[in-house]
Amino acid sequence: MDLLRSLPLGLYLEQPQTWLHKLDPRVKFIWLMSFLTTYVYANNFWRVLLVVLLIFVTLAAQIPKRVWQQQMGWLLMLCFFVLAVAAVSPDGFSIKYQPRLPAYEHTIIPKSEAKPSTALSSLLKNHSGYSYVLWEKGAIKVTRRSLELAIALSTILFTVIYSTNLYLLTTAPEEITAAIEDLMQPLRRFNLPVTEITLTLTLSLRFIPLVLEEVQNLFRSVMTRAINWKKLGLKGAVKVWMLVAERLLENLLLRAEQMANAMMVRGFTSPNEHRVQWHELRLTPKDWLAIVILIFFWGLRLAIGTEIQ
């Protein structure tokens, strides 16, 4: 088991350099926020379209298959499981469902009442294809409301996780912090510590691979000991994993202390006095094209993606 290769969440792909890598990090950040915000008050068609668009961008960027195959595969499997469970779950409406048409279609109607009921019969005939319950077998029931909720839950799970992971995969941590610091410049007027916030974000992004490495090492240490879990029982297994979690916390605190000591040895006192510009942010023609496409993206969202109440 190699978590750093099979599940590289939050890791930056240095090679190969795709066209997503070469886009300005500020433009990519705005695109990420657009994916996360256009979901609000959107219909299910737009939500499914976001999932398709993320998969298309991954394939169009020619990111190596070994990088996204397992991530996307496991995530799609999880989303399908959420879709299936939510679809058969109660929809929250305590309604006793009844057919829209009478039980006996060939009810004899007196001639005196035939003309007044013509409009009503035609209305029932036009809506005879509607059914709130889409599928029912025994205790399992799928309604229109439960299916809509299932699609919403599964698509937002995929969109939030995969769009963020795709951004981290194609953007270096230094580029991310430089972009966020540049976008947060107006907040300096309110005396907010923008540089300190971006430094904290940089250290957090750098700490993600260390966390995965520690988890991987602890799992390997447990597997190499060939523990007989059946003899341990539930109580013994919980005790072992509690010890593993305690050791993980100790190792992470030790890594954080080592990082702090390294900064102190190098004479680090404040971010403002030790600023290092890793990347020069400059918009290129590709970035302007991405901005134009983003405007079209929002226009399409307002045109076809708004949920009708």
Q: What is the pLDDT of residue 281?
A: 77
Give pLDDT, residue 179: 85
Question: Are the beta carbons of 216 and 1 closer than 8 angstroms?
Answer: yes
Question: 201 near 180, Cβ under 8 Å?
Answer: yes
pLDDT tens digit string along 133-186?
A: 767 777 777 777 888 888 888 999 999 989 988 888 888 878 888 888 888 888
Q: How deeply is 62 buried, as exposed, middle or buried, from its count of CB atoms within 10 A (0-12, 13-18, 19+)?
A: exposed
Which of 83-97, 179-193, 211-225, 265-279 has the weakest average pLDDT?
A: 265-279
pLDDT of residue 274: 61
Which of these, 256, 255, 227, lies nearest to 241 by C-alpha position? 227
Give the Cα-Cα-Cα angle 250, 254, 259 (nearest 5 degrees). Answer: 150
* pLDDT average, residue stretch 279-302: 88
Confidence of residue 117 (pLDDT cuts 50, 70, 90): very low
Q: How far apart are CA 109 and CA 92, in angstroms?
A: 38
Please answer whether residues 92 and 150 qualify as being in contact, where contact means their C-beta atoms are separated by less than 8 angstroms. Answer: no
Burial class, 259, CB count within 10 angstroms (exposed 0-12 / middle 13-18 / buried 19+): middle
27-59: string of b/e by CB count within 10 Å (b at 16+)? Answer: bbbebbebbeebbeebbbebbebbbeebeebbe
| pLDDT (0 to 100) of residue 125 | 44
| Structure confidence by residue, pLDDT tens digits, 215-250 | 888 888 888 877 777 777 788 888 888 888 888 888
Alpha-carbon distance of 82 to 85, in angstroms, equals: 5
Predicted confidence band at 28 (pLDDT cuts at 50, 70, 90)? Answer: very high
Does the reported pTM lie above 0.75? no
Determine the Cα–Cα distance for residues 295 and 69; give it in Å rounded to an integer: 30
Nearest to 7 by CA among 98, 90, 78: 78
